[in-house]
Amino acid sequence: MSRTRPEFPGTRPQHTMLSAADVHHVLQLYITGPTPRCIRALSNIRAICETYLLGRYELEVVDMSSQPGVAADAQIFAAPTLIRKHPLPLRRFIGDMSETDRILAGLGIRGNVAPHATSGRG
């Protein structure tokens, strides 16, 4: 005999399930001026966002050379550093963001969302 818990009105958790295609990402890229590595990181993360998160992301670029106190406040020890603030949990990526598969996996979008832009080659 199986037992089930009685359900009472208003006691069931109300979860709103968003698909990976509906999740809005909030990202911050910390750079140290226009160095080659920081420029590559910015270009790479913009390409990833425009390909996989089109219309579903905010990217804030923080130049620590013009805002030196920001690095300590955000606990940034290397640049470039990308922080995913939303969705939680908070994630950090250090480097030029050239390892696309690693960035996608860390952002939780690898395999969940098809690229927005497709190649016209056939």
Biggest CA–CA distance in the chain, Å, is 69
pLDDT in tens, 44-62: 999 999 999 999 999 999 9
The distance from CA 30 to its chain's CA centroid, rounded to whole angstroms, is 13
Residue 57 and residue 25 in contact, taking contact as beta carbons nearer than 8 Å? yes
Domains of the chain from N-terminus onward: 24-107 (3.40.30.10)
**What is the pLDDT at residue 121?**
39
**What is the pLDDT at residue 95?**
96
Residue 76 and residue 63 in contact, taking contact as beta carbons nearer than 8 Å? no
**What is the pLDDT at residue 116?**
57
CA distance 84 to 113: 17
Residue 5 scores a pLDDT above 50: no
Q: Which residues contact 32 (CB under 8 A, 6 or more apart)?
A: 38, 63, 64, 65, 79, 80
pLDDT in tens, 66-80: 988 888 888 998 999
DSSP 8-state secondary structure symbol assigned to residue 117: S
**What is the pLDDT at residue 118?**
45
Residue 18 scores a pLDDT above 60: no
Residue 98 and residue 33 in contact, taking contact as beta carbons nearer than 8 Å? no
